Amino acid sequence: MARRRLSHLLAVALGIVICISLVSCSSFKISQENFEKIQTGMSLAQVTAILGEPTESNSVDLAVFSGTVSKWKAGGITITIQFVNGKVVAKQFSKGDK
């Protein structure tokens, strides 16, 4: 019984370590280097492959026009990217206090 409980605790601890590692890795994607990889005309899927999922996103759809502003935030860095009809049209990098 003690062996089974120890085994369960080790499995839970390993799960926690893996989750923390995944969250930490995603914040490493939000960097000046990766920001420089983002080019006008890229799709949201291409940007997400580089930066990961956005921290926040707001969209507007009007007839034949759709616009989205997405932000990625981590460690005092904010990357803001504007999409029109699903393609990058503008980007901004800002670094401030955590």
* Fold type of domain 2-95: Beta-lactamase Inhibitory Protein; Chain:B, domain 1 (3.30.1450)
- pLDDT > 70: percent of the chain: 72
Domain chopping of the chain, boundaries: 2-95
Q: What is the mean pLDDT of the chain?
A: 83
pLDDT of residue 65: 86
Where does residue 87 rank: exposed (0-12), middle (13-18), buried (19+ CB within 10 A)?
middle
pLDDT digits (tens, 9 = 90+) for 47-94: 999 999 999 999 998 888 899 999 999 989 999 999 999 999 999 999
For the whole model, what pTM was predicted? 0.70
pLDDT digits (tens, 9 = 90+) for 39-59: 999 999 999 999 999 999 999
If you ran DSSP here, which 8-state letter would residue 85 be given? Answer: T
One-character DSSP codes across 21-78: HHHHHHHHTSSHHHHHH--TT-BHHHHHHHH-S-SEEEEEEETTEEEEEEEEEETTEE
